[in-house]
A and B are shown apart, each in its own frame.
Chain A
Amino acid sequence: MRPTRTSLCLIIVVLMASTSQAETEKPLVRVGSKAFTESVVLGEVLEHLIADGGGRPEHRAELGGTQVCWKALLSGDIDCYVEYTGTIQQEILSGESVRGDESLREALARRGVTMSRHLGFNNTYALGMPEELAAKLNIRTISDLAASPELPRLKMRFSDEFIERDDGWNGLRREYGLPEIAARGIDHSLAYRGLQSGSHQITDVFTTDAEIRLYNIRVLEDNRSYFPLYQAVLLSRADLQDRAPQVVQSLHRIEGLIDNAAMIDMNARAKLDRIDESRVAADFLKDKLNLSITLPGEGRSARLMQATHRLLDNLLQHLMLVSVSLIAAIVVAVPLGIISYCHPRLGRVVLNSVGIVQTLPAMAVLVFTIPILGLGAWPAIFALFLYSLLPIVRNTYTGLSDIPQHLRDSAMVLGLSPMARLRLVELPLASTSIMGGIKTAAVINVGTATIGALVGAGGFGQPILTGIRLDDFSLILQGAVPAAALAIVVQAAFGYAERWIIPAGLRIQST
């Protein structure tokens, strides 16, 4: 009995060691994606291709936008992600006015980034109308629409952004000689329902919107090439070629693989049919490249397990973000508050500085810190740390400054040194105010920590982000409700902690 068990253990250990060794031998290739469904689906496609090419993929999904992905790519936190040529031109190389794919490719190469050929679809603005009506009126292109005798009877409603953009409605109208309409905006998703209900017949769409399939909409061809091209391309780090040549080869198979119809279909499956993005991507690759991909953890019970796991994971990540940033802020901000109190002139500078820090947009802080701190928890912790400084510094300073003069004198005349006065008298007297500042910072942090999801730090922001992306209200609640509950718990916990930290004599006075 005993030898069998020992040998069994040994076998398991050896097995585990060998598999983990095999795993580490595979090159790690990290994929990024932005916080909208198309990007996440494409990230999953890349993930499967990396695995098929002998790499060990890791998907940092739902990052907070172009700048986050781009900075992460440059810093090596991700190795590749799918971007759009229009976005590269407008947002990434905005200072350079680069035109044409070849010059884009060169400009990116100078930054150590390789741009693939087109993946096949172009996700840009277009005009859409119900397929049935378009067929009846024989309208295929925007020029057809402009020339249609029925045009005066066709009602148009556009999204606010489309109306306001330079390359939106106004330019389009001039280009095609379309009639002027009263510029009344409508929510993008409501625009589709309006088409269906017949309240209007023409609206702006994105050419790969899932709703195009759902509502059977004809996308009118932009025959004068008015709208800028947003051709999907794969951006990858140039050094990936050396680290994982086979993976790069495998990734290249995505070029020309996905046309608009295929992308619309995948978007619709993920967003409307609520099929897991990984499954959507796997089915697509099975269909196109005949890859057979086994996905772990499918089935009802596995999903349920995942849900509770996710909640626990999110909670732990969220608590980690809040507590690490808060502790760091206390360590820095309380001394800053003390210095401000002891040296009023320096104090004004300190208080103004932390006040300015408070006004920095979270997104800007995250984007700026990614090159230094990478993706994940650290940039989020850093941002939360910055936002915690003001309430703690301010309350420490105020708490110390508000000590009545006669108590300050009493400490002086006893012959206590400045340090002893601070430790024995002033800080205890200011403790109520300091604790108040820390409590404020903690509660604000619990709410603000949801931004962590934008840089892949997890937490309760993750379900919120996914919920917004999938238009799934229950998923949003899965993040928002625990975050709110956590804020209440934190508040209560501090109320309890105050009993230990604030001296009893002060609590008598305050009641």
Chain B
Amino acid sequence: MLELDQVTKSFGTQTVLYPTSLVVTEGTTTVLIGPSGCGKSTLLRMMIGLILPDAGTIQFQGETFTAANQLALRHRIGYVIQDGGLFPHLSAFDNVALLARHLGREPSWVKSRVAELAELVRLPQSALSRFPAQLSGGQRQRVGIMRAFVLDPPLILLDEPMGALDPLVRYDLQNDLREIFRTLKKSVVLVTHDMGEAGFFGDEVILLGSGRIMQRGTLNDLLKHPADEFVTRFIQAQRWVQSDDVNTSKGRHRGHSGEHSTLQHDKHVTSKPN
């Protein structure tokens, strides 16, 4: 689906990404995780051609980004940012419909597609006529997801999509999103700094630190066999419980209403070994 081969990036004298390679397999979810400034957002922005690598190649469905094909490639990739990145001058409906209309899709097609997507992300129809400023944070994010999905792209990129949401809203949206990704068999790359979210979504979790991949694998691999001191420290910093106690990939067990309840909740699930 998506292949990055030895890509690097510097801004001025500062190297934000050392030679890095990764492959996103069709139908799987890859999570990029790491502290601020580790290069995870740079990597994601490269995947849609917002940033061009200084060296190395990026291939999406066998094509590399060029000035000529970048618009067409972007139409086959959905991109969701924190808080939805909605255009404030357009209603929710118009935000979602913008690209399809611009590409000349029939109004009737657009209308039914938006309604379909609203149902998919469980957005009330009444919210469609509202402007972003009139929507709740969770609704804005759902509209942002609808916008990314409008042309039904095979690849979805998400840059800290839940970052601005309060825990309960985030909980619901995480559930809905994973369900959507699975049913629609989307290839997904998700950037987060939350281990719990990484484990919940990720078939593969890639931990980045200061421009390099520090470790990759399932969350359980990372927790059980941290590659080095950095990985250990990063996991500790999440105030996560011991690796033995964790159920990572299956099911949904964690509440997110605060750090303490998270810990307590997680202790409950220790009885269900992986």
* A residues whose Cβ falls under 8 Å from a Cβ of B: 406-407, 409-417, 420, 424-425, 428-429, 431, 503-506, 508-509
Contact = CB atoms under 8 A, between A and B. Distances in A.
Interface of A is mostly: helix
B89 A409 contact: no
Contact of B102 (A416, A431, A504): A416
B131 to A, nearest CB: 4
A415 to B, nearest CB: 3
B71 A417 contact: yes
A509 B88 contact: yes
B131 A504 contact: yes
B87 A407 contact: yes
B87 A425 contact: yes
B99 interface: yes
Nearest to B90: A505
Interface string B129-155: 001111000000000000100000000
21 contacts: A407-B87, A407-B88, A409-B81, A410-B79, A410-B81, A411-B87, A413-B74, A414-B98, A416-B102, A417-B71, A424-B98, A428-B87, A429-B87, A429-B89, A503-B89, A503-B90, A505-B88, A505-B90, A505-B131, A506-B89, A509-B131
Given A407-B87, A429-B88, A503-B90, A414 B132 contact: no
Given A504-B131, A505-B133, A413 B91 contact: no
B50 A409 contact: yes
B230 to A, nearest CB: 29
Nearest 7 CB-CB pairings of A with B: A415-B74, A503-B89, A410-B85, A505-B131, A413-B79, A505-B89, A415-B75
Contact of A407 (B70, B85, B102): B85
B72 interface: yes
Contacts of B131: 504-505, 508-509
Contacts, number: 70
Contacts of A416: 71, 99, 102
B48 interface: yes
A424 B102 CA distance: 9
B88 A506 contact: yes
A406 B75 contact: no
A425 B102 CA distance: 12
Nearest to A410: B85
Given A424-B98, A505-B133, A508-B133, A413 B48 contact: yes
A172 B229 CA distance: 97
Contact of A406 (B85, B89, B133, B147): B85
B102 A505 contact: no
Contacts of A506: 88-89
Given A415-B75, A505-B132, A410 B87 contact: yes
Contacts of A412: 50, 74
Contacts of B71: 415-417
Contacts of B82: 406
Given A410-B79, A428-B90, 19 more contacts: A407-B85, A410-B81, A412-B50, A412-B74, A413-B48, A413-B77, A413-B79, A414-B99, A414-B147, A415-B72, A415-B75, A415-B99, A416-B99, A428-B87, A504-B131, A505-B91, A506-B88, A508-B131, A509-B88
A505 B72 CA distance: 29
Contacts of B99: 414-416
B85 A509 contact: no
A503 to B, nearest CB: 4
A415 B99 CA distance: 8
Nearest to A429: B89
B175 to A, nearest CB: 25
Contacts of B83: 406
Interface string B83-110: 1011111110000001100100000000
Contacts of A503: 89-90
Interface string B40-80: 00000000101000000000000000000011111101010
Contacts of B134: 508
Contacts of A509: 88, 131, 133
Nearest to B99: A414
Most buried by A among B50, B77, B87, B99: B87
Contacts of A504: 89, 131
A409 to B, nearest CB: 6
A92 B132 CA distance: 65
A416 B89 CA distance: 17
A414 B133 contact: no
Contacts of B88: 407, 429, 505-506, 509
